[in-house]
Structure 1
Amino acid sequence: MEHGEPLDRVARIQAEWRRERPDIDTTPQGVIGRLHRLADRLGEELRLVYDRHGLGEGEFDVLCALRRAGEPYERAPGELAEHTMVTTGAMTKRIDRLERAGLVTRRRSADDQRGRIVALTRPGRELVDRAFTDHMRNERRLLDLLTPAEAESLEALLTAWLSRMDGPRTPGDA
């Protein structure tokens, strides 16, 4: 932070901790605290688009996963759960809501009569196409708060950090 710049919320919290607990290094809070605040703010901004289309974030994710599947825009519920990183129980609730809204259908799998297949309906595809277009426009607006070089650097840093976080875990890892 430049000399003389006002402290942001995270810097104020760090300063208070340094005063109260000078024995603890609070520098990680500068990155983690700001990432946490940024994630919250980004979530708020992204939800505006979902709300405008009458969708929750989870429903938007399911519709996008189906749309990305390509013709005939269908996947098994377990596959949808993998593509959206939620539990199968949460996925069932999302699919139920989408089915009631007429945006998806469920049918038995031709390969496995016990299995189910979830498919986009025409209204579901039309909605997700509109919502995704708005979503990408919104993400562009948010990313344009950075310079292209900053955005490129940030993406590289986040990719490396996430890769290391998702890497192999040993039993002693916290």
Structure 2
Amino acid sequence: MNNQKTGEDHVDRLRAQWARELPDLDTNPMSILGRVYRLSMLVRPGIEETFAAFGLDRGEFDVIATLRRAGAPYRLTPTELYKSLMITSGGLTHRLKRLEKAGLVKRTPSPEDGRSMMVELTSAGKTRAEEAFRTDMASELALFAAMPQARRELLEELLRELTHTVMSSLADRQK
């Protein structure tokens, strides 16, 4: 891919329709957020297919990946897990039951507080998390193969900036 502007896309067509129907409305946010959303929808099936090949859904992968990223001994409290995953404790409980049944996690008493439980990745869970993540990253990297590294780095920088801007804006609204 070169630095020239690519042809019209789906978002351009949507914006043109809205410009015709509501010419006074600035639809510029669609040019960014619409494309981010569309990209997410385009890649989601492939990501889910990758995890399914490892006997996982996306939520289950998120749990074992979070435990793996935590480092040895690959163990967190349920509270640490659900806060990291930004889900409810009930949603986590359901995932943990499935993962425990599959032998990928186990619940163990907390070494600091025998009344609390820890969620720990089993060796099978560690292997599954690593293999699924490696496969997913290879698949996702292939999606960007035609884009020069410098353009990818620029896009990464701009998306990071966009994320900070949006987060700041949302925080300001809540004040």
With normalisation by structure 1, the TM-score equals: 0.88
CA distance in 2 between partners of 1:69 and 1:17 (Å) = 46
In the alignment of these two chains, the number of paired residues is 171
3-state secondary structure, aligned to 1:55 = coil
Report the identity percentage.
Answer: 37
CA-to-partner distance for each residue in 1:19-38, whole Å, 9 max, x for gaps?
11111112221222111101
Range that drifts further, 108-117 or 88-97: 108-117
Whether 1:52 aligns to 2:53 is yes
Q: How far is the alpha carbon of 1:126 from its aligned partner?
A: 1.7
3-state SS, counterpart of residue 24 of structure 1 = coil
Shift of 1:171: 5.0
Instruction: State the TM-score, normalized to the length of structure 2.
Output: 0.88
Query: Unaligned 5+ residue runs, structure 1?
Result: none
SS of match in other structure, 2:72: coil
Provide the residue aligned with 1:157 in structure 2: 158
- 1:76 is aligned to 77
Instruction: Identify the residue that residue 141 of structure 2 maps to in structure 1.
Output: 140
* Structure 2 unaligned regions, length at least 5: none
CA distance in 2, matches of 1:78, 1:93: 14
2:106 is matched with which residue? 105
Which position in structure 2 is the counterpart of 1:27? 28
Residues in 1 aligned to 2:5 and 2:56: alpha-carbon distance in whole angstroms? 42
Which AA in structure 1 matches 2:172? Answer: T
Q: CA deviation at 1:2?
A: 5.6
Question: Match for residue 128 of structure 1?
Answer: 129
Aligned in 2, Cα 1:167/1:23: closer, same or farther, shift over 3 Å?
closer
1:170 aligns to what SS in structure 2?
A: helix
Give the equivalent residue in structure 2 for 1:170: 172
State the shift of 1:148 in Å: 0.6
Give the CA RMSD over aligned residues: 2.1
Q: Compute the displacement of 1:115 (Å).
A: 1.6
Give SS of 2:108's match.
strand
Runs of 4+ in 1 over 6 A off after TM superposition: none
- Counterpart of 2:172 in 1: which secondary structure? coil
